[in-house]
Amino acid sequence: MDKIAFVFAGQGAQYSGMGRDLYENSSAARAVTEMAESILPGTKRLCFEADKEELSVTKNTQPALFVMNLACAAALDEAGVRCDCAAGFSLGEVPAAAYCGLLGREDAFAYVVKRGLFMHEAALETPGAMAAVLRISNGQVEELCSEFERIYPVNYNCHGQVTVAGSADEMDAFIKRVADSGGKAIRLAVSGAFHSPFMEKAADRLLGILEKTEFREPVIPLYSNLTALPLDKESAPSLMARQVKSPVRWEQTILNMCEDGVTVFIEVGAGKVLSGLIKKIAPQAGLYNAEKYEDIQRISSAFKENDYDA
């Protein structure tokens, strides 16, 4: 049986003004935004008015993107478009957990506020760097990382595209080593070495919070960044905390979802980064982006008419 999956965007997709038209046109999206505003006053301003520089600060990015992502999913739900399973890239795993029922909305948002803050503080305490590596195999990237003391493969985005993270002091030498090996490495505009051991302290602090948070069995499966398999309420606290210091296995996640019957992916939230990756991982899959209210309407119409690629 054909299945539909929602995939929730990660950090880096944010932009000024995101979610405003959803707020103005969807009562479900508006409810998500007002919930977040009641917990962290100023969140609405961050989404609608903050400039690129302010939004790029991790402790601001994560709450704002959570709202954008979950508001999009709620607006789709309101329009009658629902999914059979979900996954979220890095930060996107948290609003996905709220949508799937693994966490309550309020608990999920309160957690993402702490997640953004702790990762921001970890990056200030132990500055790091990240780079996207292209044109060489994932195995070659792993081999090159092993030549350096503190450079790690962290995001397995798709075949031939791996993000690495680690020491800022070693990153330039690593980038040169990639070029010498026939690949290309692009340094990313981030301040921290996310999903690497540099985030160990943040992960430990977040585990303490998640162990005190109520988890429920998800209503629909949510695939873990860490294992690429569905989460349950027992494993989720540990896996979601460890996620911030561990690789995101996105390619394997998408392959597993396809193996489990997913034929259509809808990217919810800011940007189209995940859609671009899925095109490379599963070119046979149908793809949609839900970012603006007009997207919600278009997808809803297509699904009501069963006029979608599956």
pLDDT for residue 97? 98
179 token code pair:
């070029």
Sign of torsion, CA 142 144 148 153? negative
% of the chain with per-residue pLDDT over 70? 98
Question: Region 139-162: what's the mean pLDDT?
Answer: 96
Look at residue 142 and tell me whether its pLDDT is greater than 90. Answer: yes
pLDDT for residue 178? 97
Burial class of residue 284 (count of CB atoms within 10 Å of its CB; 0-12, 13-18, 19+): exposed
**8 A C-beta contact, residue 62 and residue 112:** yes
Do the strands 3-8 and 222-223 form a parallel or antiparallel pair, or are they unpaired?
A: unpaired
3 token code pair:
């299945």
Please, which pLDDT band fits residue 307 given cuts at 50, 70 and 90?
A: low
Please, which pLDDT band fits residue 308 given cuts at 50, 70 and 90?
A: low
Question: Region 199-225: what's the mean pLDDT?
Answer: 97
Look at residue 192 and tell me whether its pLDDT is greater than 50. Answer: yes
pLDDT for residue 306? 67
99 token code pair:
């949508």
pLDDT for residue 12? 85
CA-to-CA distance for 215 and 66, rounded, in angstroms? Answer: 18
Residue 88, CA distances (Å) to 99, 145, 265 in order: 11, 26, 12
Look at residue 116 and tell me whether its pLDDT is greater than 90. Answer: yes
Look at residue 191 and tell me whether its pLDDT is greater than 90. Answer: no
pLDDT for residue 28? 98
Nearest to 263 by CA among 297, 288, 293: 288
Look at residue 227 and tell me whether its pLDDT is greater than 90. Answer: yes
Look at residue 310 and tell me whether its pLDDT is greater than 50. Answer: no
pLDDT for residue 2? 86
List CB contacts of 29: < 8 A, sequence separation 6 or more: 19, 22, 23, 71, 72, 74, 75, 78
Look at residue 58 and tell me whether its pLDDT is greater than 80. Answer: yes
Prediction pTM value: 0.95
Catalytic positions, written as ranges: 90, 195
CA-to-CA distance for 54 and 141, rounded, in angstroms? Answer: 32
Look at residue 195 and tell me whether its pLDDT is greater than 80. Answer: yes
Question: Region 24-46: what's the mean pLDDT?
Answer: 98
Please, which pLDDT band fits residue 1 given cuts at 50, 70 and 90?
A: low
pLDDT for residue 175? 97
Question: Region 262-273: what's the mean pLDDT?
Answer: 96
> Which domains does the chain show, CATH number per domain?
3-124+197-304 (3.40.366.10), 128-187 (3.30.70.250)
CA-to-CA distance for 202 and 189, rounded, in angstroms? Answer: 20
User: Could you count the other beta carbons within 10 Å of the beta carbon of residue 213?
Assistant: 15
Please, which pLDDT band fits residue 233 given cuts at 50, 70 and 90?
A: very high
**8 A C-beta contact, residue 193 and residue 125:** no
Please, which pLDDT band fits residue 189 given cuts at 50, 70 and 90?
A: confident
